[in-house]
A = this chain, B = another copy of it.
Amino acid sequence: MSQESSRQSVSSAEETSDNNFTNHAHAIHVRNAPSVLSKEAPPESYRGFLNLAMLILAANNLRLIIENFLKYGFLLSTPGTIAAPYDYTCLMICFLVLPLHIIFAFYIEKITIRPFLNEIKLAKKEGKEPTITPKIKSINKRAGILHTVNITFILLFPSAVSYFIIFHPFLGSIALFNGLALFFKLISYAFVNRDLRLSQLIGGISSSSKEETKIPIIDVYSVQYPNNITLKDLFYFWFAPTLCYQPSYPRSPDRFRPGFFLKRCGEIAIACTMMYFLVEQYANPTLRNSLRAIDELSLVSIVERVLKLSTISLAIWLLMFYAVFHSTLNLLAEVLRFGDRSFYLAWWNSGSLGTYWRLWNRPVYQWFKRHVYLPLVDNGVSPRVASFIVFTLSAAFHEFLIGIPTHSLKGFAFVGMMSQIPLIEMTKPLEKWRGKGSTFGNVIFWMSFCLVGQPAAILLYYYQWNMTHQI
């Protein structure tokens, strides 16, 4: 018992005594008081227990790291040797093909400008208001067909290469991921330029008197059509951290900050190293050990494996999220002075799965909202059906992005994504009941997404891969 805070605190009677005979009899218990943990006690802080919980979490994981080391030693191989050199060559080719698609998309727009402007001039010469003539419709149609062909090949080529030629799933997904991003971007590019053209039909004459024509003027951009149709503009869009094309973007006020850039580079390097380490040292052995549990269909063992995987896969997923959505997109934005950097919002506080899907991946969310959901709703489709269509498309893309590189289009990812719809419906009343961002809803969100869903999916695909390839 340390007594250094000494005398003040015990009882006032002590103060007068300095005779050694009479210290012992002073009252220690002088008033009624409940125990701190009793219901009748005034509220007390339990922050210490929170610190303890965090400490145990750290200790538990430190222990697992040591246990893993004692069991396996170091498992890392040289990063470059995970796949055959042939795979890397194929990946390179997939990259090099992409600029060709971009140049093609640019020329489609370029050759559409002249006949379109001629058509407007013609109308003006005749004193008519320029409007959607059959000629303009056919111009747009031709551009649409050419874009469709171009965009289709963006996906087809890397899909074929990574399904039939590239063996390693990781390299295959990189090829597909880049193809898919450009696929989204060029769809947006085609749609936006078509609508910019159509908005010129009335914007070229007068903007104030014609509000009832239902073709609103797009005047929020600092660049007007057709001045935006340049190769430089399109290459800027290719690298820009967005999937939604705009003739101009808000630009960051500061000039390029080398410190910011280098920090993001460092983050990417560290995150990639950590992810590689986690995959090789923790995920792989755990997955290998789980094959037997799945073979035996031992439910208790499978649950144990899923729980062990959950922490690892969550750590990898969080690192991936940070490296891609914070570091990489901010790095691109800094180089390109791209101003709107809300690539994600605070999804970690989500009170329901629906909120999570709206917040975590803003580029894809915004693309689907601008180019699929709102056009559907404006054309009279009910919001619920439009949502369903968006989710079905998103599920198809997930299946595409995971199924093709792992060479197993069995629909696991599709079903996983589609199962989000009932889950969202189930967690929606929760959010209404407990309020937005309630702890209860948040815990349900984390449980359904990160602890149960992800590791189970990884196990499934790993099992599938090993069944097919018999490593």
Interface residues of A (CB under 8 A from B): 1-7, 10, 13-14, 16-38, 44-57, 59-63, 66-67, 69-70, 132, 188, 191-192, 194-196, 198-199, 211, 214-216, 218, 220-221, 242, 244, 246, 249-253, 300-301, 303-304, 307-308, 310-311, 314, 322, 325-326, 329-330, 339-350, 353-354, 357-358, 361, 364-366, 368-371, 373-375, 377-379, 383-384, 386-387, 390-391, 394, 424, 437, 439, 442-443, 446-447, 450-451
Chain B residues contacting A192 (CB-CB under 8 Å) are: 24-25
Known A-B contacts A57-B56, A70-B304, A348-B49; A4 and B354 likewise in contact (beta carbons under 8 Å): yes
CA distance A6 to B52 in the complex (A): 42
Copies in the complex: 2
Known A-B contacts A1-B394, A21-B215, A304-B67; A349 and B198 likewise in contact (beta carbons under 8 Å): no
Q: A315's closest neighbor in chain B, by CB?
A: B56
In the complex the two chains form, is A29's CB within 8 Å of B242's CB?
Answer: yes
Chain B residues contacting A349 (CB-CB under 8 Å) are: 45-48
Known A-B contacts A330-B35, A340-B33, A370-B28; A18 and B378 likewise in contact (beta carbons under 8 Å): yes
Known A-B contacts A6-B377, A66-B307, A442-B48; A30 and B220 likewise in contact (beta carbons under 8 Å): yes
In the complex the two chains form, is B67's CB within 8 Å of A188's CB?
Answer: no
CA distance A26 to B372 in the complex (A): 13
In the complex the two chains form, is A370's CB within 8 Å of B26's CB?
Answer: yes
Q: Which one, B23, B30, B61, contacts A378 given CB within 8 A?
A: B23
Q: A326's closest neighbor in chain B, by CB?
A: B37
Known A-B contacts A32-B253, A70-B300, A374-B7; A2 and B348 likewise in contact (beta carbons under 8 Å): no
17 cross-chain CB contacts under 8 A: A2-B424, A3-B373, A17-B216, A22-B198, A23-B195, A23-B375, A24-B194, A25-B195, A26-B218, A32-B252, A32-B253, A35-B330, A52-B446, A53-B54, A56-B311, A57-B57, A66-B304
